[in-house]
Structure 1
Amino acid sequence: MTQQQDYPVLWPVPTRWADNDHYGHVNNVTYYSYFDTAVNAWLIHATGTDIRDLPAIGVVAKTSCTFIGSISFPDQLLVGIRIARLGNSSISYDLAIFRDAGDSLQLAATGTFVHVYVDDESRTPVPIPDAIRAAAELLVGASAAEPR
């Protein structure tokens, strides 16, 4: 079973009123937004730079989500982030969404997210920018016991 200790980064992402659907829980497509928000916010924090200003941008080439438990506004979430693969022009992330239940974290979903770095103008694959590679390398093989 996936646990928070499996992820060296737990990034906070709040739910919003607008995230709930007609059935009173967060709509499935919103989980992907949480993944995208957590990964990019962590990258900005870890690199100390505005990643939008780099000569290469990370485009999402693949994403998936397995839904495990329901979440709803006003739940507070933590998105677990770890690097599954660090390539020349791509980074594969393993992700998990945990609902903060006060005394514990409850797993709500797991997923994958692949960034392929491309030239900002030509959109052809290029090597991962140095600042992003340096941040990602900190998570390769890292355990949750190693704060990041």
Structure 2
Amino acid sequence: MFSEILKVSLIAALCAGPAWADDDAAPLAGLLSGHNKEELPEVTLSVGEPLGGPWTLQSGRYYEVEITADGSGEIGLESDGFFRAIWVDEVVIRGLEVRPMGLASIEFDRAGTMEIGFIAIKPGRYDLHIPGSTGEDQRLEILIE
């Protein structure tokens, strides 16, 4: 009797089709799904101006951040460990999507914006800083929990 009920339930489930049949596309699952995504505050690169922060990130969560340079000088960001503690999904510059294996640093030669999508992986304390700078405001503190 139990096997007959199980058979009827299984057939009914298969005939019903996927849960997203009314939508155009299947829902995303896992780390790249919309419920796992968070936008970080924009980082503005400007000579002598603070970077912002601090950030507290959760390991396994997907983040997007826009980084904008105002053109006040050739300016970049580097990190001693942050770029190795994340998985970079994509870097978008002027609508062009790049999917690198990783990043070491970024630099703007003129005004512009890039968006970086990444998943925080390795817990720890990190920072992003402007190369050659010594001021605390030129450093964005990051904690991955």
Same fold (TM over 0.5): no
Answer 1 or 2: which has greater helix percent.
Answer: 1
Identify which of structures 1 and 2 has the higher relative contact order when contacts are C-alpha pairs closer than 8 Å and 6+ apart: 1
TM-score (norm 1): 0.25
Bigger-Rg structure (1/2): 2
